[in-house]
A and B are shown apart, each in its own frame.
Chain A
């Protein structure tokens, strides 16, 4: 009896090396939230009876949000690879994006409250029905907001939803440490679009969704004064990919 490989295997050393690097990076990136989960759990265990109720609640909220972060990272890595390999199924449906945003931001509101960060959501439109994959849109929003939350120790995070009739514009602003000019330039490099590399695993997913809907993404920041991420999606349904 011998083993029949179900798929053709590659021996191309360039592909194998790329695969090895990608897997190593994914493993590395997953270790950051995993380390945070273990660290805060260890601190809680070693402070039994000492930690005040407020600290305990904050540490537990961090553990929960970091575990969620790992789940999202895994889902987004798999989805990102499917999207760039043209293997993803898109489930576009007519949906009111305002209602979708209101529902999608609920977990972020909770995490912000637990961390003592002010969260505001400004929606300049009453309702707007567009054709989009609701799950992926919701996860795109979640990546942008959770990235902002992760880098904001105090202050505020603001989400704005606007439309000029032909475009939907999402703006996520935070009062975190900001991003250097060099880093801003790296964030949207083609390599990030092609490979889920570095700490931009979530962002790579966002880019692949924005690309699919022929939208645009950019960011502005001054170091020390927070960062603003913009996502612009066209509303012309005919132009959207399926």
Chain B
């Protein structure tokens, strides 16, 4: 899952990014509202974690612009502004959740998972596909009753594919979700991950649409 983190404090931003990445999220980090707006216009994300007090364009103005354009991206505000009025204002500007600093980092992960669950229109915290069950909270995958340990990137890829069953996902879109802007991706990296997932869960799990991308078909 690809998250846009907008936080102007370098120490906090770096820590939040490290924490989210170690939990399997791909994170792109902007330190001001103007840069975040540009990123939102040119890239696609699954969720935004947004501070309010930001240089160039404050968080609430950024959020208003986003919602005025009809963008439904889940947004979690992370702010030291802690009054009831602050929280109401954040939610009324279009935020989906509001967490006050200082916060428990595990609560941040849980709230992000909850927002992503809603975005994927899932009622259960578990992602299920036939005999395959994926738990985003514990990052445990079970297949035909057996636990399968997956490296982080394979887990992220499988989660992304299962959240989008029946949809064709281009290689570029998959790489965006896996790596964001930060790393140069080897040309065959996605194919290697797909190959490993097929070996573990059966080659029929992921369909290759030649020249277009990959898809996990809907279970009839």
Binding site for B on A (CB under 8 A): 28, 31-40, 42-43, 46-47, 50, 59, 62, 66, 150-153, 176-177, 180, 183
Contacts and interface: CB of A to CB of B under 8 A. Distances in A.
Given A31-B102, A46-B105, A180-B55, A39 B16 contact: yes
A43 B22 contact: yes
Contacts of A43: 15, 18-19, 22, 105
A40 B15 contact: yes
Interface in B101-122: 101-106
25 contacts: A28-B81, A31-B102, A32-B12, A34-B101, A35-B80, A35-B101, A35-B102, A35-B103, A36-B9, A38-B102, A38-B103, A38-B105, A39-B16, A39-B19, A42-B104, A46-B105, A46-B106, A47-B22, A59-B15, A150-B10, A150-B11, A152-B10, A153-B14, A180-B55, A183-B55
A66 to B, nearest CB: 7
B52 to A, nearest CB: 10
A177 B31 contact: yes
Contacts of B19: 39, 42-43
Contacts, number: 62
Please name the 5 residue pairs, one residue from A and one from B, whose CB atoms are nearest each other, closest first: A31-B80, A42-B105, A35-B102, A35-B101, A38-B102
| Candidate in A33, A34, A40 with the most chain B CB atoms within 10 angstroms | A40
Interface of B: 9-12, 14-16, 18-19, 22, 31, 55-56, 80-81, 101-106
Contacts of B106: 42, 46
A47 B22 CA distance: 9
A32 B80 contact: yes
B17 to A, nearest CB: 11
B13 to A, nearest CB: 9
| Candidate in B56, B102, B104 with the most chain A CB atoms within 10 angstroms | B102
Contacts of B105: 38-39, 42-43, 46
